[in-house]
Structure 1
Amino acid sequence: MKTRVNFDWGSWYLLLAAGLWLMSCKKETDVVSPSTDTSAENKVVNDWILENMQEVYYWNTKIPANTDKTLKPGAFFESLLYPYDATLRPDGDRFSWIEESAEDLTAALSGETRTTGMEYNLYLRSAGSNDVIAQVLYVLPGSPAEKAGIKRGDIISKVNGQTLNRSNYASLLFDNTTFSFGLAQVSNQLIIDTDVIKSVTATVFQENPVFLDSVYVRGDKKIGYLVYNQFVPAPNGSNGSEYDNQLDQIFSRFKAQGINELVLDLRYNPGGYTASSANLASLIGKGVDASKVYFREEWNTTLTPLLQKQYGSDFFLQRFMSKSQNIGGNLQRLYVLTTDRTASASELIINGLRPYMPVITIGTTTYGKNVGSITITDDTGKIKWGMQPIVFKSYNSQGQSDYSAGFKPTIDIEEPISLQPLGDVKEVMLNEALYQITGNAGARRGVGEKNPLSSIGSSIQRKAGGSNMFIRSRKLSL
């Protein structure tokens, strides 16, 4: 059965924090349920996986010559990968993945999931302890969590009456839909349980990634501040650009108010659609327009000559857009707030703007994702799986792609265990940015408080975003 890959560039094309999604990569097959486990049925799905991987996978020359198609599709997909190893394969794959339901995946990529409406970091409760706490990072407006009165900085130590620990936290936090959250509080850097309980039921909820914007005036400094939590152009089911338009409107206001400094808060942004990344970069960049290169893609040696022949060199380039709302002419630099949850399209903003203006990062080292993957789905509906293999590496206009270990911060500062609201001038990262912009005379510098707890993860890692997106007006058939 010959592989037929149909890249519908008129559909969404996205680069995820965990991968980049291409909607119409398909193969004619019989209908297969994602839960199949017989060898014959597995072989149908695995044939589809292998043939597409051999064509588009960035490391396609590393795919094993002998494969076991009797494996379940998830295990078979994993067996094809060129896995990362810090010593043996530092150039290996950390990001390709597969999902049983492509339909659920596409919804999640647009920010629609079943959720309580909050994101949180996970920490060991104390040194040497197996107990775990979840600290709320932000709560979505209108979500079940907000309606229950949960807010940024709240600490969850129990779920449904059980104390969180290394063994149970994943099932208690991620496998339930109805929650009774037992809260704790910080006292002298210790976590103390309280009697406060918040009851929340998860629901299907659409996240608006444009979380907060503010303006701060300090003397002759007019400072714009934007909290942006995922690069998503529009809600699930929309073919429009509602969220991108919202960003345009914010920057139109920034421009009208004479903003001459900008703080872009990407600390919780795992990535998103490339089109949205390019849109935001085009609103910020100094001296950029549709003639300037934002970033370039490097595909595998199988596809590159075919793409080059059919579409020319411009196929591999993402250029900026000419935006009337661009404020780059008033900016001397850009401040970006970062953590290890800042990934993919967020790092693309940093890397893509570096050739055009100074980019100063404040926070902790970013995640380190300079490659993109595509989600391949069967748009005939016969195969229900969706996979996201890495298919390219990205470079800025100066050929730089040197952040696989993340961007180290220009100014190193971490979030404390006691969190202030986002946008509050006392909030530690924003406070540092204001200090750097205005100096001693213009802002009171907060005291950097170290977080004494050991991090073991974050709910943000489970978001299906790190997605980046292209919209092409033509089809590629190979």
Structure 2
Amino acid sequence: MKLLSLWWPILSLAVLSLFSLASCKKSTDVTPTVTSAVTDHEVNAWILSNMQNYYYWNDKIPAKPDTTLVPNKFFSSLLNTYNATTNADGDRFSWIQESAESLKASLSGQSKTTGMEYKLVYRDNTRTSIIASVIYVLAGSPAAKAGIKRGDIISQVNGQTLILSNYQDLLSGTSDTYTYGFASVSNTGSLVDNNQTKQVTAVVFQEDPVLLDTTYTIGGKTVGYVIYNQFIPGVYTTDGTSDKTYDLKLDNIFGKFKQKGVNELVVDLRYNRGGYVSSAVNLASLIGKNTNESKVFYSQKWNAIVTAANDKKYSAGWNTQSFVTKATNIGANLNRVFVLTTGSTASASELIINGLRPFMTVTTIGTTTVGKNVGSITIADPSGRIKWGMQPITFKSANALGFTDYASGFAPSVEVKEPVVAMKAFGDLAEPMLSEAIFQITGTRNARRAASVELDQPVIGSSLDRKAGGGSMFINDKLQKVQY
């Protein structure tokens, strides 16, 4: 039996465990019946039990962890912590949140936000002042309604200049209303504050992960281009259902690509830090050449407890995910696909690169990806008594050829650095990363490849870092229904 016939997509993510292991007890045995406040000891016991069962490195959990710690510190104390020198195969990506509901919402693209994302860069050689360079703005969001756009440079918030000691508080303050002040690039290339201000109030907002889709006809080629920022099946709901809004939107986009005879494809994942496996399967199945339900997209390696239980319970192949048949697949017209990447490209995005490579040429353009070859599940208390939610790493992925060793990220086939300032609008053929992809496709440059417009300072962070888990998501949402 195949994975899809055994597992069901869980969008509410309100489950206590992944598989109905022999050690599972009835819900009446594990669900507290008292109404007293939940203690840290009770939360920690819940954390430890689930981590011992499902954590990929459960054999490295301390034998006697300190249960007196507060829950978030207790969770951290259980992790097989990554160290570049002494533990390069360690855990960089597990996390826990005090609110499981907030965790579930953020994984499905819903959060309180102004609707813009930005990079943080030192303004000059003194490395005291900081700017926030807007990388994109969500359509219909408060930032979009205020007229903020990609390439804008924020130098002040609420009348205060952003500096090393205050930028975090100013950009992520307790108030939901922000007055942004802006800077411009002068004729000499320096940044100069201007008198422009814009006020924006953050709201709970559902992000559409498809930022742009379009086609170009250049040099006899019909090029499809789509910017996809998070692997989200549909609009977040709390009742465990989904209308598959965004998966269906991608289906329709590729349907248009097919009608227009697209024979070259550029998928822009430069800001996509991951998301749901089901949406990665959906996208890969729209692109893959000569793929169908008999072809493996990726496989999973779990810990010994999960593996033994499921080897016994299910037939061979329980830990593999095949492509699915899509009527709007354009693979027959493609020999290759171009993927735009940065240091914010992670997890399910890297799964697309790795999973498609056995079937077609995947050319990456940009900078090296994060290197997240592991995935996670969401664990929350179905009774609702314990409010915490955690996202521990539970498996490692490999493609159809068994390749899994990309923990250091995928280096670009063609390196192109995205500018920090003076950024072109998305879809503009002069935008450096898209321009390079078009050159690789047609052999003709629509814009001169100039040196990247950069401040002579490193990027020190990004608003993308505040997204669920610090930005590296690869979530298995094909979960066995728990039986107690």
Q: TM-score, normalised by structure 1?
A: 0.92
Which among 419, 423, 432 is matched to residue 436 of structure 2?
432
Runs (5+) with no aligned partner, structure 2:
1-5, 18-26
How is 1:254-403 mapped onto 2 (pairs within 5 angstroms)? 254-403=257-406
Q: Hey, what does 1:3 align to over in structure 2? A: none
Which among 104, 114, 117 is matched to residue 116 of structure 1?
114
What's the offset of the Cα at 1:445? 3.8
Q: Take 1:33 and 1:288, find their aligned partners in 2: how far apart are those partners?
A: 54
Runs (5+) with no aligned partner, structure 1:
1-7, 15-20
Q: Take 2:349 and 2:94, find their aligned partners in 1: how far apart are those partners?
A: 18
SS state at 1:272 partner: strand
Show CA shifts across 1:449-469 (max 9, x none): 242331011111211265445
Which among 418, 421, 427 is matched to residue 423 of structure 1?
427
Aligned residue type for 1:202: A
Which among 91, 94, 100 is matched to residue 92 of structure 2?
94
Aligned residue type for 2:143: A
Q: Take 1:52 and 1:125, find their aligned partners in 2: how far apart are those partners?
A: 45
Q: Take 1:190 and 1:347, find their aligned partners in 2: how far apart are those partners?
A: 36
Alignment of 1:189 onto 2:189: yes
Q: Hey, what does 1:456 align to over in structure 2? A: 460
Answer yes or no: is the 8 Å Cα contact 1:156–1:183 preserved in 2.
yes
Show CA shifts across 1:397-422 (max 9, x none): 11111211111101101111210100
What's the offset of the Cα at 1:11? 4.7
Answer yes or no: is the 8 Å Cα contact 1:432–1:445 preserved in 2.
no
Alignment of 1:162 onto 2:160: yes
What's the offset of the Cα at 1:364? 0.7
Answer yes or no: is the 8 Å Cα contact 1:32–1:384 preserved in 2.
no
Answer yes or no: is the 8 Å Cα contact 2:347–2:472 preserved in 1.
yes
Q: Take 1:384 and 1:127, find their aligned partners in 2: how far apart are those partners?
A: 45
Show CA shifts across 1:267-317 (max 9, x none): 011111100000000000111111110100000112111011112232211
What's the offset of the Cα at 1:13? 6.9
Q: Take 1:415 and 1:474, find their aligned partners in 2: how far apart are those partners?
A: 41
Q: Hey, what does 1:215 align to over in structure 2? A: 215
Q: Take 1:33 and 1:189, find their aligned partners in 2: how far apart are those partners?
A: 62
Q: Hey, what does 1:408 align to over in structure 2? A: 411
Show CA shifts across 1:175-220 (max 9, x none): 3311000101122332211111010000111110011101000132
Answer yes or no: is the 8 Å Cα contact 2:299–2:397 preserved in 1.
yes
- Aligned residue-pair number: 459
How is 1:62-77 mapped onto 2 (pairs within 5 angstroms)? 62-77=60-75
Aligned residue type for 1:305: A
Deviates more, 1:192-201 or 1:231-240: 231-240
The structure-2 alpha-carbon separation of the partners of 1:466 and 1:72, relative to structure 1 and needing over 3 Å to count, comes to same
Answer yes or no: is the 8 Å Cα contact 1:231–1:466 preserved in 2.
no
Q: Take 1:283 and 1:100, find their aligned partners in 2: how far apart are those partners?
A: 37
Alignment of 1:230 onto 2:236: no
The structure-2 alpha-carbon separation of the partners of 1:347 and 1:201, relative to structure 1 and needing over 3 Å to count, comes to same
SS state at 1:420 partner: coil
SS state at 1:302 partner: helix
Aligned residue type for 1:183: F
The structure-2 alpha-carbon separation of the partners of 1:267 and 1:52, relative to structure 1 and needing over 3 Å to count, comes to same
Aligned residue type for 2:200: V
Q: Hey, what does 2:177 align to over in structure 1? A: 178
SS state at 2:59 partner: helix
What's the offset of the Cα at 1:167? 1.8
Answer yes or no: is the 8 Å Cα contact 1:276–1:468 preserved in 2.
no
The structure-2 alpha-carbon separation of the partners of 1:302 and 1:124, relative to structure 1 and needing over 3 Å to count, comes to same
Q: Hey, what does 1:249 align to over in structure 2? A: 252
Deviates more, 1:173-182 or 1:446-455: 446-455
SS state at 1:263 partner: strand
Answer yes or no: is the 8 Å Cα contact 2:430–2:446 preserved in 1.
no
Show CA shifts across 1:215-235 (max 9, x none): 000132000000111000101
Aligned residue type for 2:229: N
Answer yes or no: is the 8 Å Cα contact 2:230–2:273 preserved in 1.
yes
Q: Hey, what does 2:23 align to over in structure 1? A: none
Deviates more, 1:445-454 or 1:154-163: 445-454
What's the offset of the Cα at 1:428? 0.8
What's the offset of the Cα at 1:125? 1.0
Q: Take 1:83 and 1:396, find their aligned partners in 2: how far apart are those partners?
A: 25
What's the offset of the Cα at 1:162? 1.1
How is 1:29-108 mapped onto 2 (pairs within 5 angstroms)? 29=32, 41-108=39-106
SS state at 2:345 partner: coil
Deviates more, 1:308-317 or 1:80-89: 308-317
Q: Hey, what does 2:144 align to over in structure 1? A: 146
Q: Take 1:184 and 1:32, find their aligned partners in 2: how far apart are those partners?
A: 54
- Pairwise CA RMSD of aligned residues? 2.0
Aligned residue type for 2:394: V
Q: Take 2:34 and 2:342, find their aligned partners in 1: how far apart are those partners?
A: 43
Aligned residue type for 2:147: G
Show CA shifts across 1:69-114 (max 9, x none): 1111011111111100111111111111100000111111111111
SS state at 2:318 partner: helix
The structure-2 alpha-carbon separation of the partners of 1:383 and 1:395, relative to structure 1 and needing over 3 Å to count, comes to same
Aligned residue type for 1:358: T
The structure-2 alpha-carbon separation of the partners of 1:448 and 1:33, relative to structure 1 and needing over 3 Å to count, comes to farther
Deviates more, 1:144-153 or 1:233-242: 233-242
Q: Take 2:446 and 2:34, find their aligned partners in 1: how far apart are those partners?
A: 63
The structure-2 alpha-carbon separation of the partners of 1:307 and 1:45, relative to structure 1 and needing over 3 Å to count, comes to same
The structure-2 alpha-carbon separation of the partners of 1:392 and 1:53, relative to structure 1 and needing over 3 Å to count, comes to same
The structure-2 alpha-carbon separation of the partners of 1:313 and 1:148, relative to structure 1 and needing over 3 Å to count, comes to same
The structure-2 alpha-carbon separation of the partners of 1:297 and 1:33, relative to structure 1 and needing over 3 Å to count, comes to farther
What's the offset of the Cα at 1:147? 0.7
Deviates more, 1:25-34 or 1:422-431: 25-34
Aligned residue type for 2:212: L
What's the offset of the Cα at 1:128? 3.5
Q: Take 1:105 and 1:32, find their aligned partners in 2: how far apart are those partners?
A: 24
Deviates more, 1:185-194 or 1:358-367: 185-194
What's the offset of the Cα at 1:127? 2.5
